[in-house]
Structure 1
Amino acid sequence: MRALLVVNPAATTTSARTRDVLIHALASEMKLEAITTEYRGHARDLGRQAAESKDIELVVALGGDGTVNEVVNGLLHHGPDPDRLPRLAVVPGGSTNVFARALGLPNDAVEATGALLDALREGRERTVGLGRAGGTPGTADEAAPSRWFTFCAGLGFDGGVIGRVEQQRERGKRSTHALYLRQVVRQFLGEHDRRHGAITLDRPGEAPVTDLVLSIVCNTSPWSYLGNRPLYASPQASFDTGLDVLGLKKLSAPSVARYGTQLLTSSPVRGPHGKNAVTLHDLTDFTLQSKVPLPLQMDGDHLGLRTSVTFTGVRRALRVIV
């Protein structure tokens, strides 16, 4: 088997020595080409080259959720075709690794490599659904490029949090859960003029859902992790269905405390709920529109401000080694 290993040298939880050990372990089982990323978007370019190759059967992403997202967007540059495209495998190296953990992989890079090799020997794989988001025709954002996401997206509050985290990381701060929590507080304190709904969700054949101030789109569950604690924003979300949405219509201090507590104590059967919470399951096509430009994030990557984003849930988009 010929495989491409895409290595993010800045992966938060792996050292150069660990990465060398993992590369040797993988190379002992397959014909492996390992390439270290050198710029933002490099993993996407490598994924696209692998998809266009005639002999690469497997692409392994060694890094965090951002690296995985780039590889996936490269593999699916010409659209989903799971029977033709190389399979994807993930060795987690980031601070959270939501996609890998949602697939049931160990959160340790060495253990995950062992599990990956076992899965390849035993032929274990699954075909997962993914989300896609892009500009809405007829709006100011219609030219925005379409992009795939593996586990979540968000327009509004959580997009702002991700933007703040990226600013801190550019200043040399390390990506930690404490950093995220600090930015959640700062985003809340800085949102005085946007705590009442500016977002509308439109979907074919249904009445619009209006007055949302927060919108989280989930392609799987859990939505994220706080350390080892899974956070279930949309417990029913699954790689085998369409997209789920959690929307909130109020972000006052009491409601933030209530929903934050519900999120911290959430489970696979119960997520945030209440009169100002909107939960929608298994959506295929919908649009989020805002009266004012709001920050957009996908898989923890801040993508700037948008007033309208169209989402599509695509079932059976990519084969993944599990």
Structure 2
Amino acid sequence: MRALLVVNPRATTTSERSRDVLVRALHSAVDLTVRYTERRGHATALARDAATDGFDVVVTLGGDGTVNEAVNGLLTAPSAFADRPGTPADRLPALAVVPGGSTNVFARALGLPRDWVDGTGVILDGLRDGRYRVIGLGRADDRWFTFTAGLGWDAATIRRVEQARLRGRTSTPFLYLRAMSGQLLAGADRRNPPLTLEYPGETPDTGLSTVIVQNTAPWTYLGDRAVHLNPDASFDLGLDIAALRRLTIPSSARTVTELAWRADDPRGKQVLRRHDVAEFTVVASRPQPFQLDGDYLGERQKVHFVSVPSALRVVC
């Protein structure tokens, strides 16, 4: 079995010594090639080349951003949607994820241990036993995502966190909560919510301040605690939507409090939910912050979302 290990050398929870341990462990199970990412987007190119070159497995060591890049590389390989029988999951290398980031939402949503050592053990057992799971993915225009996407408040929060990390701040649950609260107070869209959800053949939902899309549950983690916006979201179903109609200070403060202390799905007349949706479009009256899998990707005024079943095989 040929495997490519894609290593993000800036992964926050691993060291050079621990990476060497991982490489030796994987060498014992597979014919291993190791590549280190050198820039943003490099993991996408490496994974795409692995699919073209006939590798059986792509293993990532990094956070959710590295996973997202690798998935986008696999799903944009020429073989992903070739005109032959089967689904993309049948045609592509499997993906194995060793958690190396600060949150690792995708790996934990799959049921993998948070610790990279324990996660490596699960991956090794899965490779030896041929244990795989086929999951669906989300697509936002031409970009794939594994667990979440969003426009508005949550994406602006991620932008604030990324800016803080560039200034040397450590990624912690408190940093995210502080950024979320700060974005609420500074938000310019409280009075005129700019977002609309459009569905094929259905009445649109208008007057929305933020839209969060989930491909699985939970939405994220605060330390060890899972945060649920749509608890029934699943890799095996369509996409789930959670939207806030108005970012008023009282209602949004209540939402932040629920997420911080209860880590439960917030409720109220300002919350809109949709479950197991196959296709929809988010349209904004003015450019809005946009994120995929926790990475800020700039501003958008229109994004088309599609749920793609049986898109990826994962080792678990």
Tell me whether the two structures share a fold, i.e. TM-score over 0.5: yes
Equivalent of 2:162 in 166, 169, 182: 166
Is 1:288 aligned to residue 295 of structure 2? no
Q: Which amino acid in the other structure matches residue 231 of structure 2? A: P
Distance in structure 2 (CA, Å) of the matches to 1:176 and 1:194: 27
2:97 aligns to what? 90
Kindly indicate whether the alpha-carbon contact (under 8 Å) linking 1:12 and 1:175 is maintained by their aligned counterparts in 2.
Answer: no
Paired residue secondary structure (1:105): coil
Moved more, 7-16 or 251-260: 251-260
Matches within 5 A, 1:148-187: 148-187=144-183
Identity of aligned residues (%): 57
Distance in structure 2 (CA, Å) of the matches to 1:193 and 1:289: 15
Paired residue secondary structure (2:38): coil
Q: Which amino acid in the other structure matches residue 94 of structure 1? A: G
What TM-score do you get using the length of structure 2 for normalisation? 0.94
Which deviations, in whole Å up to 9, do the C-alpha atoms of 1:7-54 show, x marking residues without a partner?
000001111111111111111111101111111111000011011112
1:301 aligns to what? 295
Deviation at 1:173, TM superposition (A): 2.4
Kindly indicate whether the alpha-carbon contact (under 8 Å) linking 1:196 and 1:249 is maintained by their aligned counterparts in 2.
Answer: no
- How many aligned residue pairs are there? 307
Equivalent of 1:273 in 248, 252, 267: 267
Deviation at 1:171, TM superposition (A): 2.4
Deviation at 1:176, TM superposition (A): 2.2
Matches within 5 A, 1:35-114: 35-54=35-54, 56-78=55-77, 79=80, 81-114=88-121
1:28 aligns to what? 28
Deviation at 1:195, TM superposition (A): 5.0
2:84 aligns to what? none
2:85 aligns to what? none
Structure 1: segments with no counterpart, 5+ residues? 135-145
Paired residue secondary structure (1:13): coil
Deviation at 1:178, TM superposition (A): 2.3
Matches within 5 A, 1:134-149: 134=141, 146-149=142-145
1:143 aligns to what? none
Kindly indicate whether the alpha-carbon contact (under 8 Å) linking 2:196 and 2:206 is maintained by their aligned counterparts in 1.
Answer: yes
Kindly indicate whether the alpha-carbon contact (under 8 Å) linking 2:212 and 2:242 is maintained by their aligned counterparts in 1.
Answer: yes
Distance in structure 1 (CA, Å) of the matches to 2:191 and 2:102: 29
Equivalent of 1:262 in 258, 262, 283: 258
Distance in structure 2 (CA, Å) of the matches to 1:192 and 1:309: 21
Deviation at 1:266, TM superposition (A): 4.5
Kindly indicate whether the alpha-carbon contact (under 8 Å) linking 1:244 and 1:281 is maintained by their aligned counterparts in 2.
Answer: yes
What TM-score do you get using the length of structure 1 for normalisation? 0.92
Kindly indicate whether the alpha-carbon contact (under 8 Å) linking 1:9 and 1:37 is maintained by their aligned counterparts in 2.
Answer: yes
Distance in structure 2 (CA, Å) of the matches to 1:175 and 1:67: 16
Deviation at 1:193, TM superposition (A): 4.1
Matches within 5 A, 1:205-244: 205-244=201-240
Is 1:119 aligned to residue 119 of structure 2? no
Distance in structure 2 (CA, Å) of the matches to 1:273 and 1:266: 12
Which deviations, in whole Å up to 9, do the C-alpha atoms of 1:157-179 show, x marking residues without a partner?
11111111112222232222222
